[in-house]
Amino acid sequence: AELPPAGRKVVLLTRRLPDAVEARAARDHRMVPNLEDRALSGLEIAARAAETGADAVLCCAGDRLDAAAIAALPDRVRVLATFSVGTDHIDLEAARARGLIVTNTPDVLTDATADIALLLLLGAARRASEGERMIRAGAWTGWSPTQLMGTHVGGKRLGIVGMGRIGQAVASRARAFGMAIHYSNRRRLAPELEQGATYHPDPEAMLPVCDVLSLHFPATAETRHWLNAERIDRLPLAAILINTARGSVVDDAAVIDALTRGRLAAAGLDVFENEPDLHPGYRDLPNAFLLPHLGSATVETRNAMGFKALDNIDAVMAGRPAPDRVV
Ligand code: DGY
């Protein structure tokens, strides 16, 4: 039988991961999987880490690792590698204070997430979800000249708030559909990255030109409910909202009210505050195109995210700098 690698480390997985990722973790470490795949609370994760003598924890976007959970993690745990680019579920200050290394998985999910943003943009503009539900309900009576008329996206202005990797990937896709790109970002991009997009230093000032508004900035205490009723009122009438970032950056009550009144024509949403218990007001809105946080959900991307998380764990275990260290 193959001998385990010398100095095998214990790697705790908080959820089931794709087969190829678990196979690599089991090959290189003593992997502790979460066989029942139940979402664990932060304190349960800490307790499991203590029980199993974990050296590393590979966690996911849904796991809430707040200050209490981080404090409860045994000292032996040196790295918390999250299977996500977002880190809003982790109290980074608590991790920093405890000397816990936190890593994430940037780059590998950029294209998959930008693809979902375009799916939502086109689906919301062309009323795809309404049409699909009409067919499934047996309510389609045949083609008609005025049925489910949507909005042409070509020639419309797409405003991107947060022009990082994913924002730029959304811009390049939307350009192919003939959209004019506007963006707001802390820093203006270099011309070769900007590719003719119009820069707005102040996102507030950009809102009146956003026929479609797509959000691509992280969830923090400062960005909570950034898109509120006042900002919605600055958008052109019947604008479309796309959110593939985090649910907490929009004020659900304000978005639902605007969708109900037609102030917003439609919304395409992949993320929600308090997932999976999304605001019930969304469910009955015909003009809300809703997906269950699928941004990175392709086999290729999820494998790549898992390998990246393991690359980071391997580096820390070997005393090398973690390539995607956040804290
Ligand atoms: C992320 O990576 O932050 C996604 O939301 C989960 O894949």
We report the CATH number of the domain holding residue 93 as 3.40.50.720
| CA 105 / ligand 1 centre spacing (Å) | 9
Residue 209 within a domain: yes
Do 115 and 230 fall within a single domain? yes
Cβ–Cβ < 8 Å for 80, 101: yes
Task: Give me the pLDDT at residue 1, please.
Answer: 43
Selection from 26, 22, 28, 24 nearest residue 6 by Cα = 28
Closest residue CA from atom 4 of ligand 1: 84
Task: Kindly state whether residues 221 and 122 are assigned to the same domain.
Answer: yes
CA–centroid distance, 139 to ligand 1, in Å, is 36
Domain hosting 257: range is 110-290
**Residue 42 is assigned to a structural domain of this protein:** yes
pLDDT given for residue 7 in this prediction? 73
Q: Which of 98, 275, 279, 325 is catalytic?
A: 275
**Is residue 188 situated within a structural domain?**
yes
Nearest to 235 by CA among 260, 206, 256: 206
Q: What is the pTM of this model?
A: 0.96
59 lines ligand 1 (CB under 6 A): no
Q: Which residue has the tokens 């469910």?
A: 283
d(CA 35, CA 327): 29
Q: Based on the domain organization, do 98 and 143 belong to the same domain?
A: no
Task: Confirm whether 327 is domain-assigned.
Answer: no
Nearby residues of 114 by Cβ (< 8 Å), 6 or more positions away? 166, 169, 170, 172, 173
Report yes or no: 70 and 100 within 8 Å, Cβ to Cβ: yes
pLDDT of residue 195: 96
Are 97 and 210 part of one and the same domain?
A: no
C-alpha 194 – ligand 1 centre gap (Å): 25
Q: Which of 113, 165, 324 to mutate to test the pocket of ligand 1 (most atoms within 8 A of CB)?
A: 113
Q: Which atom of ligand 1 is nearest to 296's Cα?
A: 7
Looking at the structure of the chain, the number of domains it has is 2
302 and 243 share one domain: no
Mark whether 89 is an active-site residue: no
204 C-alpha to ligand 1 centroid (Å): 26
Concerning whether 98 is annotated as a catalytic residue, the answer is no
Same domain, 180 and 237: yes
Are 199 and 124 contained in the same domain? yes
Asked if 118 and 33 sit in the same domain, the reply is: no
Q: Is residue 326 part of a domain?
A: no
Cβ atoms of 166 and 114 within 8 Å: the answer is yes
Q: Does any domain span residue 178?
A: yes
Identify the residue whose C-alpha is closest to ligand 1 atom 3: 86
Residue 155 CA to ligand 1 centre (angstroms): 31
Please identify, by atom number, the ligand 1 atom nearest to the C-alpha of residue 271: 5
Interval between CA 7 and ligand 1 midpoint (Å): 31
**Which atom of ligand 1 is closest in space to residue 293's alpha carbon?**
5
Q: Is the CB of 301 under 6 A from ligand 1?
A: no
* Ligand 1 pocket test target in 88, 109, 217, 298 with most atoms within 8 Å of CB: 109
* C-alpha–C-alpha distance, residues 138 and 276, integer Å: 28
Q: How far apart are CA 74 and CA 68, in angstroms?
A: 12
Secondary structure in 3-state letters for the chain: CCCCCCCCCEEEECCCCCHHHHHHHHHHCEEECCCCCCCCCHHHHHHHHHHHCCCEEEEECCCCECHHHHHHCCCCCCEEEEECCCCCCECHHHHHHHCCEEECCCCCCHHHHHHHHHHHHHHHHCCHHHHHHHHHCCCCCCCCCCCCCCCCCCCCEEEEECCCHHHHHHHHHHHHCCCEEEEECCCCCCHHHHCCCEECCCHHHHHHHCCEEEECCCCCCCCCCCECHHHHHHCCCCEEEEECCCHHHECHHHHHHHHHHCCEEEEEECCCCCCCCCCHHHCCCCCEEECCCCCCCCHHHHHHHHHHHHHHHHHHHCCCCCCCECC
Residue 50 resides in a domain: yes
d(CA 284, CA 266): 13
Domain shared by 275 and 306, yes or no: no
End-to-end CA distance of the chain: 39
Task: Write down the ipTM of this complex.
Answer: 0.97
- Looking from the CA of residue 297, the nearest atom of ligand 1 is 7
Q: What is the pLDDT along the chain (327 residues), one digit of tens a residue?
A: 454 456 799 999 999 999 999 999 999 999 999 999 999 999 999 999 999 999 999 999 999 999 999 999 999 999 999 999 999 999 999 999 999 999 999 999 999 999 999 999 999 999 999 999 999 999 999 999 999 999 999 999 999 999 999 999 999 999 999 999 999 999 999 999 999 999 999 999 999 999 999 999 999 999 999 999 999 999 999 999 999 999 999 999 999 999 999 999 999 999 999 999 999 999 999 999 999 999 999 999 999 999 999 999 999 999 999 999 999
List CB contacts of 284: < 8 A, sequence separation 6 or more.
none
Query: Contact at 8 Å (CB) between 101 and 108?
Result: no
Q: What pLDDT score was predicted for residue 5?
A: 57
104 and 242 within one domain: no
Residue 325 covered by a domain: no
Residues 191 and 304 in one domain: no
Answer yes or no: do 217 and 150 share one domain: yes
Active site annotation includes 126: no
